Amino acid sequence: MAEQARRFRLSRRALLGLAIVGGGAVWAGATAARLMRAPSGAKDAGRIADLDGVPLPQEPDFDNPYYDASLPWASEGGTINDVSALSRTPVYGVVKVAEEKHVADALAFARGNNLSVSLAAVRHSMGGQAFDDHAIVLDMMGLNSIEVDEAAMTVTVGPGATWHDIQNVLHPRFAVKAMQSTDIFSVGGSISVNAHGMDHQAGSIVGSVKALEVMLADGNKTTCSRDQNADLFRHVVGGYGLFGVVLKAVLEIVPNAVYQTSRAVIRSEDFPKLFETEMVGDPGLGLFYGHLSTARSNFLEDMIVYRYDKVADTAPPDMGPLGEPGMVGVKRLIMNLAKRGEVFQSFKWYMEKELEPEFESCTVPRTAAMAEGEACLVSRNNPMHDSVPYLFNDLPEETDILHEYFFPRSEYNAFIAGAREILRKSELPLLNASIRVVHAEDTALTYAKEDAFSLVLYVNQRTDEDGNAKMRALTRELVDLTLKHRGRFFLPYQLHYTRAQVMAAYPELPAFLAKKRQYDPRELFTSTFYRGLKAAAGMA
């Protein structure tokens, strides 16, 4: 009898144990599946509705909206958002531009009906740069022609062409000269923020723009470049869509060189010296980026320096087409797990440091480029053809926000030490921290007055008020640090800075806004960001 009761207890325990393990396995499997899932749609989680206390929502200036049937409206009324999911904004309507005439007609319609216009592309800027309350939004993605001129080494593109599409056309002989570190963005959106990426010699995109065709607020078309209408050029590039509509861009292209890849794990504090002695003067260094650890044990202390050194001027003509990123689900899982505690952050760093090299895809056969040994060879287009699908997820209650801070190169160690202290005490998970190189850039609202390094951060937050409050506090601390080190912050991101901070970082702002009114006296082109800047400069 006693034996029977003991066995019964044992089997009950075993069953309970099995149920717990089984339940745990089911929960872990379901959680992993959720964290690996691709977005089921665009996130739309509300609106951060002020810049430093200045309210951004505004009432419509019309009673009965009228929609000219000759324009291709994708929506009449409704709301729009950007990739942050935190900029939901009511609009007059969205015009899906498919030809240049639609732009001219939409501007005439707006002028005739006293409406404003915003220009939108992939909408990866994160603070209402591409739309405004009750404005007509021109969705520019349909103007996406791509024409290569091999003799001139240029590509002439519509503003809605993405780097991804352009690379598919240029490959395998040619490559983009300057762009972001990922290929998902439009040319129009990239020109309007003067984007920069992995080629520190080419610098930001302004250096690769030969000419722009622009439609001004009055409907007139003009061409501008460094030599022709140079003042307009300096304002359209990095002008956040406020000076005119880019209709076409002529961009320099370069040969699709073959690079040998390498990586070194260094102490972050050694980077400035390494850059000075082994990188800045090396013409063979085609691409590079620095990736800092976000694990607590070596937080922003260790760094992987990825190098792409040129071994041949051109890629073999029979190179296969450009591939899409692999292991997307696993990479998305690692990224999303990293938001959930130190163990996973350490795991992410281990993967980046130890395992990633094992999965590197070497797309150029060694014999073809006459390189020796076990080198991994890729063509320029390969690392630049990354559409980062793993950064985007199906977790509606959270969002990932980019920041970028530029500072003089001599300030590197002091700046990183300060950022380490601020980010360590923030409760928001830091997902990525990378280092970029930019040059002094001659655009009206430049983010770099002198050669600079920048720290790019990708930070996770909840999409609720508490998440926004934490992101705002973090941003302001990082901006203060940047100002202390004579730096500037990148403007396509959230409007969490104070009015005093944006004025201190960009003393040219009043002149920029005055120029805007010179080119566009009626302020036809607008955005929430524009109204925020005006309020900051006391020009609302």
Ligand X SMILES: Cc1cc2nc3c(=O)[nH]c(=O)nc-3n(C[C@H](O)[C@H](O)[C@H](O)COP(=O)(O)OP(=O)(O)OC[C@H]3O[C@@H](n4cnc5c(N)ncnc54)[C@H](O)[C@@H]3O)c2cc1C
CB of 124 to ligand X, least distance (A): 3
- β 136-139/117-120 pair status: parallel
Chain-centroid distance, C-alpha 447: 15
Q: How far is the CB of 460 from ligand X (least distance, A)?
A: 13
Nearest alpha-carbon partner for 260 in 379, 436, 381, 174: 379
- Cβ contact 379:258 at 8 Å: yes
What are the strands of the beta sheet with 285-292, ordered from one edge? Answer: 377-379, 258-267, 302-312, 285-292, 430-438, 452-462, 398-408, 488-489
If the CB atoms of residues 364 and 401 are measured against ligand X, the closer one turns out to be: 401
Alpha helices in 141-186 (DSSP H): 163-170
Provide, rounded to whole angstroms, the least separation between the CB of residue 478 and ligand X: 17
Toward ligand X, which CB reaches closer, 190 or 468?
190
| Shortest distance (Å) from residue 63 CB to ligand X | 27
Quick one: 192 or 256, whose CB is closer to ligand X? 192
Nearer to ligand X, 364 or 405 (CB): 405
Closest CB to ligand X among residues 180, 468? 180
Give least dist CB 24 to ligand X, A: 34
Least distance in angstroms from the C-beta of 372 to ligand X: 32
Interface contacts to ligand X, rule CB under 6 A: 83, 118-125, 129-130, 140, 159, 180-182, 185-186, 188-190, 192-193, 195-197, 240-241, 245-246, 391, 402, 492, 527
| 141 half-sphere exposure, CB direction, 13 A CA radius | 15
Secondary element (H or E) of residue 345: helix 342-350
Q: Would you say 176 or 364 has its CB closer to ligand X?
A: 176
> CB 373 → ligand X: shortest distance, Å?
31
Minimum Å gap between C-beta 203 and ligand X is 11
Min separation Cβ 27 and ligand X, Å: 30
Q: How far is the CB of 215 from ligand X (least distance, A)?
A: 9
Alpha helices, DSSP H, located in 374-505: 381-384, 412-425, 465-484, 499-505
In the complex, residue closest to ligand X by CB: 189
Exposed/middle/buried for 347, CB within 10 Å: 0-12, 13-18, 19+?
Answer: middle
Q: How many CB atoms lie within 10 A of CB 216?
A: 18
The sign one gets for the Cα dihedral 199, 416, 124, 509 is: negative
| Distance (Å, whole) CA 486 – CA 429 | 27
Question: Could you give the C-alpha distances from 146 to 101, 142, 289, 318, 383, in angstroms and in order?
Answer: 18, 12, 28, 22, 21
Closest to ligand X by CB, 246 or 254: 246
Q: Give SS3 for 285.
A: strand
Q: Between 232 and 319, name the residue whose CB sits nearer to ligand X.
A: 232
Considering beta carbons, is residue 124 or 171 the nearer one to ligand X? 124
Is the Cβ of residue 190 or residue 446 nearer to ligand X in the bound state? 190
d(CA 153, CA 367): 27
How many whole angstroms separate alpha carbon 471 and alpha carbon 461?
A: 7
Residues 6+ apart with CB under 8 A from 428: 459, 460, 461, 467, 470, 471, 474
- Give kind and range of the element (H or E) at residue 89: strand 89-90
User: Two tokens at 174?
Assistant: 């040619």
As measured in angstroms, the least distance from the Cβ of 89 to ligand X is: 13
Look up residue 181 and give its two tokens: 């570190």
Peptide bond into 521 cis (omega under 30): no
CB nearer to ligand X: give 180 or 463.
Answer: 180
